[in-house]
Amino acid sequence: MRKNFFQLCVLFLLLCLQTKSFSGGGEGHGGGVDPIFLFRFNAHKLNRFLKNIEKQSWEKVQPESYDFIKTNQLSLQKQLQNLPLETLAKENRASVRTPEEAVEFLMGQLLSSYSLTPHQKGSITQDVCFLMLFEERKDPKFIFLGSPKSHGPLSFDESSSLTPSPEQLSLFEQAKEQLIKTLSAETSGEKPEGVEEDTWNWLLIHRIQMAEDLSKTQFEFLSPWNKRAPETCASTVMEHGATIVFNLEICKRSLITFDEFQKVLVHETTHHLGVEDENVADEIARSALLLNLN
């Protein structure tokens, strides 16, 4: 009898482990960071960094790194623009999962065509990553939630209705405020590489309307034990200015960077404007963050 009971316990534990390994995955606003978005967005950030190298704090790193970047500035930018980002993202999705890893990988691709020692490549890459992240980390909005480098994962009690701390709520409000500015600002209208023509045109036509809708939108935070909690990080209804409801247990796994906070808000806002298809909403969300990076 004890033997049978022990076997049942083992089977139960194995079942729990198997179930856990499939939770919280998948693409879209309810899962982790989309690899194509991760590569595209950080490629744009790296390109902006290379365009504005004189504005960086080079005194904090090796002078040889600055000399190399300055000498090869234009060729590095051209190489970056020619990288097959979608293909690289799909082939390396298992090993590149964070903004730091994406920048390191992209720099590795750029430096592979130069006659540099492994030590030189590593030093230049490390310095570029440091300077890019140094500028971002000076801004309190750039908090890597749930990662060892963060201020700690979001933590909430198990009540059916949640009241986030002022700091936690501030992240959502800052994402909302930043998006309203981004969507309202003048843009060149130049379509970024890898963005579908229809998606970009929709975004340019509706961006002001999206900003107005976001300004009216309220947030509601629910625990996973609430029957109204969405099965993904966030949900809303197809109605202008409708409340966005967040399942914070899922959000704390999928909202890894401040960019992800913005992306989920854009995704839900597209539903307010009549977009039903989740994949289309995802693509618009990715593209919206590229509006003012050209």
Specify whether the CB–CB gap between 196 and 86 falls below 8 A: no
Domain with CATH 3.30.2010 in the chain: 166-288
Res 266: pLDDT: 94
Specify the higher pLDDT residue, 178 or 21. Answer: 178
Confidence check: pLDDT of 18 > 50: no
- Considering only 19-28, 97-106, 169-178, 183-192, which range has the smallest mean pLDDT? 19-28
SS3 label, residue 161: strand
Nearest residue to 280 via CA among 181, 172, 201: 201
- The encoded tokens of residue 179 equal 């998006």
Residue 90 carries which side chain, given as an amino acid letter? Answer: K
Res 227: pLDDT: 77
**Topology annotation, domain 166-288:** Zincin-like (3.30.2010)
- How large is the average pLDDT for residues 65-84? 91
Neighbours of 252 (CB within 10 A): 19
Position 292 confidence tier, pLDDT thresholds 50, 70, 90: low
Res 167: pLDDT: 60
Res 160: pLDDT: 44
- How large is the average pLDDT for residues 26-48? 68
Kindly state the percentage of the chain with pLDDT values over 70. Answer: 73
- How large is the average pLDDT for residues 46-62? 81
Confidence check: pLDDT of 242 > 50: yes
Q: In the chain, at which residue ranges do the beta strands (DSSP E only) sit?
A: 219-222, 234-235, 244-247
Res 136: pLDDT: 56
Kindly tell me the burial class for residue 117, based on how many C-beta atoms sit within 10 Å of its own C-beta (0-12, 13-18, 19 or more). Answer: exposed
- How large is the average pLDDT for residues 268-286? 93
Res 26: pLDDT: 32
Res 166: pLDDT: 62
Specify the higher pLDDT residue, 103 or 61. Answer: 103
- The encoded tokens of residue 86 equal 């979608």
Cα end-to-end span (Å), the chain? 69
Res 72: pLDDT: 93
- How large is the average pLDDT for residues 184-195? 83
The average confidence (pLDDT) of the chain is: 76
Residues 6+ apart with CB under 8 A from 222: 160, 161, 162, 228, 229, 230, 245, 246, 247, 248
- Considering only 1-15, 37-51, 77-91, 179-193, which range has the smallest mean pLDDT? 1-15
- How large is the average pLDDT for residues 81-108? 87
Res 13: pLDDT: 46
- Helices 35-51 and 278-288 meet at what angle, rounded to 10? 10
Specify the higher pLDDT residue, 72 or 152. Answer: 72
- The encoded tokens of residue 284 equal 């618009």
Position 163 confidence tier, pLDDT thresholds 50, 70, 90: low
Q: In 32-147, at which residue ranges do the beta strands (DSSP E only) sit?
A: none
Cα 129 from Cα 140, distance rounded (Å)? 18
Kindly tell me the burial class for residue 17, based on how many C-beta atoms sit within 10 Å of its own C-beta (0-12, 13-18, 19 or more). Answer: exposed
Confidence check: pLDDT of 157 > 80: no
